[in-house]
A and B are shown apart, each in its own frame.
Chain A
Amino acid sequence: MSDNQTSLTPNTREIDITKKTVKMQVSATDKIISTIIYILFSLFAFICVYPFYSIIINTISANDLSAKGEIIFWPKGIHFQNYIDVFKIPGLGNAFMISLGRTVIGTLLTVGASAFLGFMFAQEDMWGKKFWYRFTIITMFFNAGIIPWYLTMRSLHLTDNFLAYILPSVVAPFFIILVKTFVEATPKELQQAASIDGAGIFTIFYKVILPISKPILATVAIFSAVNQWNSFQDTLLLVTDSKLYSLQFILYNYINQASSLSTMVNLQNAGSTAMATLATKQTSTSIRMTVTIIVVAPILLVYPIFQRFFVKGIIIGAVKG
């Protein structure tokens, strides 16, 4: 009872939802429900984290143990040779540069375009504004399909071309909505004052809008960077030149090899010689896992820093979008 008394005083440090829940009467069934909630959420959190954890401990454990799937909770026979070996794989460094390059260039262009277009669509007087805004937004719900898209890209000579990674993603309707909503929520007077002082549209954009839009632009940047880093389908469809392979594509090839090998074992129709050649060609389990860690590492590193940030960003956008 005394617990309830103290918690009735408003707790200003915390966000609303805590205030709402602490005032509730605590009955026996409530306690049972609470316990169940805690257990279920802990379980789901475990399921979300364990796969990452298990791969990490496998990459630093003795390779023969991890190949048999015996590393479950703790690393055994710790070593870091896998991380040294993995950098010797030909093509991996190049794929890393491709992934990094498309992420940096693509993100810069997407953020710039989203900021500018979001700002422009928040302008009241633009020729055909309503039409062009719809022209942009409709593409979120409608596309021709991947094969017509592939055939178009081919006819534009964008197959085996680095630009194919960048150009299609520059105009991103969802990000434009986010920025437009944000700019529309800022005081009109800011832009008007600058305009009276003789500032042109680019000056207003650069000096007034960009500085105040930092939070939403950071959200757009992180989403766009994650999209670029994770992108796989465009390499799959458009690229045959191994110089343009991304990390995701290389990783997929490794798992696919491993997967076809175990498929053959599973089918039990493979001749022993074919099996032997495949087995020697196949990338070892620990190397495959190490590549996985290298591909996922940037996300794992960046994610905790930006998590709260983009949750706020998406909520700002969700209000309208």
Chain B
Amino acid sequence: MRSQSMRSNSFRKFLYISPFMLLLAVFAYYPLYGWVYAFFDYTPPIPLSASEFVGFKWFHSLVENQVKIDQLMQVIWNTFGISGLGILFSWLPMIFAIFLTEIKAVRFRKFIQTVTTLPNFISWVLVYSLAFSMFSSEGMVNGFLHMTGLTDSPTMFLQSSEHVWWTMWAWATWKTLGWSAILYIAAIMGIDESLYEAAYVDGATRMQVIRHVVLPSMMPTYFVLLMLQIASFLNNGLEQYFVFQNAFNKDTIQVLDLYVYNLAMGGGSYSVSVAISMLKSVISVVLLFSVNGLSKMLRGEGIV
């Protein structure tokens, strides 16, 4: 009797959260149904029900001729390049946190932390607005170069395909570095005091303490974040590249997310675009589980 009332009570608890689970089902799981568009010959005004089923035609079309292969390869190359730079410099927030906590002047340290986390809280549109005001041909940087007589004609910082991966990396770093350091700062605060004591007793210098005490303690955090970053290798996001794209940098800035958007919303090729979206999601999940498995194997615990 009692266990039955407990069971009904536990089901009632589920009923309370069910409306929210329904929302999740609609907005996170139902879009998976949208993948069927990849198997139909869908052109916007005609409804899906009236469209022709074409099987894997669109997947084949991605690699049907050299031009398309080249285009897709360039997009994948860009995605790899930009994500690769991010991973290559993934230790930056850790170093940032380590040296920030080395600053003894409390006010200065707090000021630096406050100021460097600020860019994380503005949108990419705002970042682009700042970038445009600074680096366009009539911007402050060119104004400064002109006033000081360093250049005669304005430099086209934004409208050039040169170093786009690096500038994209630089803006992303500018935006997120201070914020990403917070997790490491938390980890540094958690280091056992006695480890430091032991190091002083042995006469360790500051750099030695960093190398032998602080860095090793950071490794678990670094490893988890690195794994997550690798798992989301293909997901650069759309906004940053969308706002920074222009006729000049289009070839080198198009990452998968932007390519998918441009194909569908710019070119109306929904079906092809959904096909790429689908491949990308599947590969991402495979990556996530591989990285999770790798983490379990190496450290005995998963990241997800």
Contact = CB atoms under 8 A, between A and B. Distances in A.
Nearest to A26: B206
Contact of A21 (B104, B278, B288): B104
Interface in A153-181: 156, 167-168, 170-171
Contacts of B112: 41-42, 44-45
A295 B16 contact: no
B133 A148 contact: no
A5 to B, nearest CB: 14
Given A142-B281, A148-B277, A303 B121 contact: yes
Nearest to B261: A146
A69 B146 contact: yes
Given A24-B200, A72-B144, A263-B159, A233 B23 contact: no
Contacts of A49: 115, 118
A156 B205 CA distance: 64
Contacts of B117: 307, 311
Contact of A299 (B121, B132, B196, B248): B121
Contacts of A259: 132, 136, 158, 246
Contacts, number: 298
Q: Is the interface of A mostly helix, strand, loop or mixed?
A: helix
B261 A45 contact: no
Interface string A72-107: 100000000000000000000000000000000000
Interface stretch (A120-128, A184-192, A211-219, A270-278): A120-128
Interface string A133-161: 00111010111111111111000100000
Q: Is the interface of B mostly helix, strand, loop or mixed?
A: helix
Interface in A37-65: 37-38, 40-42, 44-45, 47-49, 51-52, 54-55, 58
Given A20-B196, A142-B285, A232-B124, A303 B34 contact: no
A292 B114 CA distance: 21
B130 interface: yes
A25 interface: yes
- Interface range for B: 35 or more
Contacts of B260: 145-147
A117 interface: yes
Nearest to B11: A127
Contacts of A318: 182-183, 186
A141 B286 CA distance: 11
B77 interface: no
Contacts of B29: 139
Contacts of A156: 26
B74 interface: no
B246 A127 contact: no
A148 B281 CA distance: 11
A147 B34 contact: yes
A129 B13 CA distance: 9
Interface string A25-36: 101011001100
Contacts of B23: 167, 170-171
Interface string B1-29: 00000110111011011001101101111
Determine which residue in B121, B178, B246, B304 has the highest number of CB atoms from chain A within 10 A of its CB, and name it: B121
B125 interface: yes
Contacts of A144: 31-32, 34-35, 277-278, 281
Nearest to A58: B133
Contact of B265 (A229, A237, A263, A319): A237
A251 B126 contact: yes
Contact of A262 (B33, B137, B274): B137
A226 B29 CA distance: 25
B3 to A, nearest CB: 11
B43 to A, nearest CB: 13
Contacts of A123: 13
A151 B37 contact: yes
Contact of A72 (B140, B183, B188, B246): B140
B31 A142 contact: no
Contact of B125 (A143, A201, A248, A258): A248
Contacts of B231: 141
A196 interface: no
A143 B100 CA distance: 36
B13 A21 contact: no
19 contacts: A20-B191, A24-B200, A24-B205, A25-B205, A42-B112, A69-B141, A117-B17, A123-B13, A142-B281, A146-B261, A147-B264, A168-B27, A233-B239, A248-B123, A259-B136, A285-B138, A295-B125, A311-B182, A315-B186
Give the 9 A-B residue pairs with the shortest CB-CB distance, closest first: A69-B143, A148-B34, A145-B277, A230-B123, A144-B31, A139-B28, A127-B14, A51-B130, A126-B13
Given A14-B106, A255-B125, 13 more contacts: A37-B103, A41-B108, A69-B139, A70-B143, A147-B264, A152-B33, A201-B13, A226-B121, A232-B239, A251-B129, A288-B133, A300-B118, A315-B183
